[in-house]
Amino acid sequence: MSSADKPDLPDLAALPGEAAPPPALKGADAIRDAWSRLPSKPGVYRMLGSDGEVLYVGKAKSLKNRVGQYAQGRGHTNAIYRMIHQTVALEVIVTATETEALLLETNLIKRLKPRFNVLMRDDKSFPYIAIRTDHDIACLQKHRGAKSFRGKFYGPFASAGAVNRTLNTLQKAFLLRSCSDATFSARTRPCMLYQIKRCAAPCVDLVSADEYRALVKDASDFLEGRSVELQDRLAVEMREAAEKLEFEHAARLRNRIRALASVRASQGINPTTFDEADVFALHQEGGQSCMQVFFFRAGQNWGNRAYFPRHTGDETAPDILAAFIAQFYEDREPPKLILASAEPSDRDLLEEALSLKLESKVEIREPQRGEKKDIVDAALLNAREALGRRLAESGSVAKLLDGVAEVFGLSERPERIEVYDNSHIQGTNALGAMIVAGPEGFVKNQYRKFNMERAKFQGDDFAMMKAMIGRRFARMLAERDATDEISPPFTGEVSSASRETEGALVAASSDRFAITSPVNGGGKVGGIDFSKERDTEPSDSKFAAIPDLVLIDGGEGQLNAALEALDELGLKGKIVIAGIAKGVDRDAGRERFFMPGKAPFRLDEKSPVLYYLQRLRDEAHRFAIGAHRGKRKAEAVKNPLDEIDGIGPARKRALLDRFGSARGVSRAALAELEAVDGVNTELAKRIYDYFHDRR
């Protein structure tokens, strides 16, 4: 309810015999109030802001001692002062040990993404190489995600490219199949991979089962670090084959040796003092950080990846390393050895938590000399160069965003740009797409798809655009309103709680203390004051972020449709929106831009800002087309039985077992349908009517 709609209430302080309510506590006062009720036990605490946002998540060996340091309100960094000033509530979870507190803290940080914590910001899973053994003929393939089948897994690799290069070489060296089981069982003659000498063609018995098992064992030996012994053995076999005048066999062995040698050569650093380790090297410059992570498995370098964690400018290297390593292994298995460019904070505690996760001893070391120090230094050099490139690129992007602000009349550099596009074929499989870009490039975890009903839109691009914009910003208002609810006051009640993290089960007897205060909502539209600083990255929300600029892929018609949607929501004039239409003959460089209340305009064909806007438009188009193709592909393989109410997996299977296919079901008589197990008279009539009405 807005302030204009609220009824006039008497001043509570003026009522006889009544005292005015105490003011809501904030900052150090709110923390001191919570501290007075905290136990001296290990646990996790969360600091909450006025809108319910989680500002910070921390762990403590003694909650009372740790939170008491914040309550003093002095001796903190500038970032901590800001956090304390914004805190209005505190929530804690008591755990049995400090190790459990660390595991729970890591889980909450990755899930809640608090503003004042060090955040890893890259949650993509790492690829593995898998040798599947759930089939008589083992299969070599790339794998991501849960290890849900029987086989051996080798990794992690730093990137899909590193896996693909290794797989390509392994196919040359060991000739293992990479096809699916269905393709394998359906082959009647060798495929192209056999012709180009990448597969031994076990599908048509061109290699015996014993010979193929030997190839599988050789591949396993190589991936498990026995590559030198394997190459020596193959060299002996090659010489023996040559002496027997079996030159074709000798040539195949020679090619395998060359392929294996090329893998080791392309890996660069291959350590001799350890077989398995992860290396973390941190470089800080200009208030930003780069973390280079190198992966060594089976004595081989399996690639590296650069991360740019988010943190406040006064975080120290040990604190960043500790937070990053904990989050990195929250959903991954750690190796037995971790090498770091500096000793992380709470190293002993971190080692204990990772050892608990691995069920084996994990050691974290900062090497001072020898090969390990050389490897860490090499990773540190990569971190320095990667951060230098990023700072240079961010400077270029900042200039482009300044140009975008000037073109569209923004008061400051945009932090969040949303671009919208539609894709369909004569109205079928219609789909809308939203992409997001900002100072750090495309924000792909914020991309969204909007399914459109064919019967409703019939290929009307304008109606689709209006519906998409309406749905997106209606959700924004709804999610923003959800944070303006008044929280219940602290009751002093203590409840038992148990929390489960992915890494470990925290089932200790836990006491939860919640100290909250009312949140004052308000604003011009849906509780949002658009004149104030915008939160472009709200926590735990999909649509609550307010864009600084909205771009519509289309001309004046699409723009007007979007404006109608904003007008219906009361947002017209509060969201900066523009249309970008393709130029004459759809030539790049001749795009026209449309904005409300302004004449259409163009930018110079060589303008860097125009190139940047073209990239945004093309990315939205690519995302929309890709999503549309995926939807079309799913539609192509869709079974008509899926569209009939009352048919689940069991009845569908029974119908297909009886009639062989959906076409067979469509031709069946009513009495035949009734004879199928699980199909009663009513359902049989529904199935029969469905197919005959369609005809």
**18 in a structural domain:** no
Question: What gap in Å lies between CA 418 and CA 450, rounded to an integer?
Answer: 14
Q: Is the pLDDT of residue 331 over 50?
A: yes
Same domain membership, residue 137 and residue 88: no
**11 in a structural domain:** no
Q: Is the pLDDT of residue 510 over 50?
A: no
Question: What gap in Å lies between CA 453 and CA 623, rounded to an integer?
Answer: 19
What's the CATH number where 67 sits? 3.40.1440.10
Cβ pair 376, 340 in contact under 8 A: yes
**529 in a structural domain:** yes
Cβ pair 421, 624 in contact under 8 A: yes
User: Which residues does residue 285 pair with via DSSP β-bridges, in sequence order?
Assistant: 288
Q: Is the pLDDT of residue 419 over 90?
A: yes
pLDDT digit string (tens) for 316-325?
899 999 999 9
Same domain membership, residue 496 and residue 479: no
Pairing mode of beta strands 417-425, 549-553? parallel
pLDDT at position 426, please? 55
Cα 276 to chain centroid, rounded: 27
pLDDT digit string (tens) for 125-156?
788 889 998 888 999 988 887 788 888 888 78
> CA 546, 548, 550, 556 torsion: positive or negative?
positive
pLDDT at position 321, please? 93
Same domain membership, residue 603 and residue 462: yes
Same domain membership, residue 548 and residue 419: yes
Would you call the peptide bond into 156 cis, given omega within 30 degrees of 0 as the criterion?
yes
**Residue written as token pair 């762990």:** 59
Same domain membership, residue 614 and residue 558: yes
Least confident range of 110-114, 446-450, 518-522, 551-555: 518-522
pLDDT digit string (tens) for 626-635?
776 766 666 6
Same domain membership, residue 148 and residue 109: no
Number of domain units in the chain: 5
pLDDT at position 430, please? 75
Q: Is the pLDDT of residue 402 over 70?
A: yes
pLDDT-above-90 percentage for the chain: 17
**407 in a structural domain:** no
Quick one: which of 419, 164, 388, 147 has its CA closest to 286? 388
Range of the domain at 137: 128-266
Burial class (CB in 10 A: 0-12, 13-18, 19+), 628: buried
Q: Which two tokens stand for residue 638?
A: 């869709």
Question: What gap in Å lies between CA 591 and CA 582, rounded to an integer?
Answer: 5
Same domain membership, residue 575 and residue 456: yes
Cα 104 to chain centroid, rounded: 20
Same domain membership, residue 317 and residue 217: no
Cβ pair 310, 79 in contact under 8 A: no
Residues 30-51, mean pLDDT to the nearest whole number: 88
Please tell me whether residue 56 adopts helix, strand or coil conformation. strand
Least confident range of 28-37, 156-165, 303-312: 156-165
- pLDDT bin (cut points 50, 70, 90) of residue 8 is very low
Domain boundary among 496, 515, 534: 515
**48 in a structural domain:** yes
pLDDT digit string (tens) for 486-495?
233 333 333 3
**123 in a structural domain:** no
Quick one: which of 264, 167, 283, 269 has its CA closest to 219? 167
Question: What gap in Å lies between CA 530 and CA 572, rounded to an integer?
Answer: 12
C-beta neighbour count of 638 within 10 angstroms: 11
Residues 104-133, mean pLDDT to the nearest whole number: 84
Least confident range of 123-127, 195-199, 452-456: 452-456
- pLDDT bin (cut points 50, 70, 90) of residue 15 is very low
What's the CATH number where 469 sits? 3.30.420.340
What's the CATH number where 353 sits? 3.30.420.10
Quick one: which of 439, 412, 407, 438 has its CA closest to 607? 407
**401 in a structural domain:** no
Domain boundary among 340, 357, 391: 391
Quick one: which of 220, 223, 216 has its CA closest to 155? 223
- pLDDT bin (cut points 50, 70, 90) of residue 301 is confident
What's the CATH number where 682 sits? 1.10.150.20
Q: Which two tokens stand for residue 83?
A: 């956090």
Residues 166-195, mean pLDDT to the nearest whole number: 86
**627 in a structural domain:** yes
Q: One-letter amino acid identity for 677? A: D
SS (H, E, C) 145-180: CCCCCCEEEECCCCCHHHHHHHHHHHHHHHCCCCCC
Same domain membership, residue 235 and residue 190: yes
Q: Who wins on pLDDT, 372 or 501? A: 372
Greatest CA span in the chain, whole angstroms?
Answer: 114
Same domain membership, residue 42 and residue 132: no
pLDDT digit string (tens) for 632-666?
666 655 667 777 888 888 888 888 878 877 778 88
SS (H, E, C) 365-425: ECCCCHHHHHHHHHHHHHHHHHHHHHHHHHHHHHHHHHHHHHHHCCCCCCCCEEEEEEEEE
Work out the mean pLDDT of the chain and round it to a whole number.
79
Same domain membership, residue 310 and residue 453: no
Please tell me whether residue 514 adopts helix, strand or coil conformation. strand
Same domain membership, residue 259 and residue 184: yes
Question: What gap in Å lies between CA 265 and CA 248, rounded to an integer?
Answer: 26
Pairing mode of beta strands 288-297, 300-307? antiparallel
Cβ pair 329, 354 in contact under 8 A: yes
pLDDT at position 339, please? 94
Burial track 28-66 (b if 16+ CB lie within 10 A, e otherwise): bebbbbbbeebeebbbbbbbbbbbbbbbbbbbbeebbeb
